[in-house]
Structure 1
Amino acid sequence: MSAYYEGSESENSDQQSDPEESEVEKGEFELVQNEQGFSGAVEAVCISFFNDILAYSKLWDEHFTHLDTVLGILNNESLYAKESKCELGMTKLLYLGHIISVDGVRMDPEKIRAIIEWPTPENLTQLRGFLSLCGFYHRFVNGYSRHAAPLTNLMKKGAFIWTPEA
């Protein structure tokens, strides 16, 4: 479980952002909730993906209320958050391959590095793996489908021939 609050500008002024990284503004970040996810008013302060829960707040005071609500729901359902896996009161955190901070949501630099350093695919299985990793971040890349089209076309039956265009 991660608990994030925006904090004030002065609290976060020491955080540097890389201007070359693409960003998605706050509010555009959506994660699919599992079938037994949180519902009602809690959806406004909490998102879940399988066993990853993120409770978020704009203000520190309301953060405690949100955490109390989320932890109360877990307790009512006899579910528990493992203390060693919890990060509480964070103003910047890594969540499901994304960096979330007062500046918005960005790609994890380690994932960017993995994409850049990915070896040239030699078969369809390797190409699928590469496209899956890149596709996870499609919303951060303007015209992603246009950029990925040459690689996607290689997925057609009998079309895997590596060319400079790909």
Structure 2
Amino acid sequence: MYDGVFHDMIEKTKEVFMDDFSVFGNSFSTCLTNLENMLKRCKDTKLALNWEKSHFMVKEGLVLGHKISKTGIEVDKAKIEVISKLPHPTTVKGIRSFLGHVGFYRRFIKDFSKISRPMTHLLEKNSPFIFSNECIQAFRTLKDKLTEAPILIAPN
């Protein structure tokens, strides 16, 4: 939906993240102009915004569990802290849940699929559930990599 309404603004003055978006500019006045244009477009197309979830003229913010700022995109430390304290899974459901949460941040983890392979193998049909030392190592490595996650730099 946003693609159609904001097709000429995407990547020039705004980024869209599913049903969230961020308006930007290289100066305060440019950002204000871009915001004004975006709000006018919303009004013209009768697109309703959730004002309680809206934040204006901030230097950084959380979008879909990622911290966005002028330095780039990084993981939300609060979410990572919860994951880092998890004990290793003891059931298929637990593995599925852990990989789902960690997979949300896969863009920050080099070789995510390769690292998680011992655990994803346990999700395969007819695979016996043996949480081996390889699985424990994969689990620990994923947690460690999350806490060390680099900042991804947004394109110009």
Give the TM interval when normalised to the shorter protein: 0.7 to 0.9
Aligned pair 1:130/2:114, yes or no?
A: no
Counterpart of 2:51 in structure 1 is 83
User: Which has the larger displacement, 153-162 or 47-56?
Assistant: 47-56
1:149 to 1:121, Cα distance in 2 relative to 1, 3 A: same
* TM-score using structure 1 length: 0.71
SS in 2 for 1:155: coil
Counterpart of 2:124 in structure 1 is 156
Question: Which runs of 5 or more residues in structure 2 are unaligned?
Answer: 136-156
1:142 to 1:49, Cα distance in 2 relative to 1, 3 A: closer
Amino acid across the alignment from 1:121 = P
Q: Percent identity?
A: 28
* TM-score using structure 2 length: 0.75
Counterpart of 2:8 in structure 1 is 40
Considering Cα pairs closer than 8 Å and 6+ residues apart, tell me whether 1 or 2 has the greater RCO.
1
1:62 to 1:34, Cα distance in 2 relative to 1, 3 A: closer
Rounded Cα–Cα distance in structure 1 between residues aligned with 2:110 and 2:134:
19
CA distances 1:80-123 after superposition (whole Å, capped 9, x unpaired): 22333211000111111111112211100012112212232222
CA distances 1:41-72 after superposition (whole Å, capped 9, x unpaired): 34422233443222122211110111011111
Rounded Cα–Cα distance in structure 2 between residues aligned with 1:116 and 1:89:
32
SS in 1 for 2:57: strand
SS in 2 for 1:142: coil
Question: Which runs of 5 or more residues in structure 1 are unaligned?
Answer: 1-32
SS in 2 for 1:118: coil
Contact 2:60 2:67 in 1 (8 A): yes
Aligned pair 1:52/2:20, yes or no?
A: yes
Structure number with higher helix proportion: 2
CA distances 1:135-154 after superposition (whole Å, capped 9, x unpaired): 11111112212211111111
Counterpart of 2:154 in structure 1 is none
Counterpart of 1:5 in structure 2 is none
Rounded Cα–Cα distance in structure 2 between residues aligned with 1:130 and 1:37:
36
Q: How many residues align?
A: 134
- Taking only aligned residues, the RMSD between alpha carbons, in angstroms, comes to 2.0
Structure 1 residue ranges (4+ consecutive) displaced by more than 4 angstroms after TM superposition = 33-37
Matches within 5 A, 1:46-125: 46-125=14-93
SS in 2 for 1:120: coil
1:50 to 1:139, Cα distance in 2 relative to 1, 3 A: closer
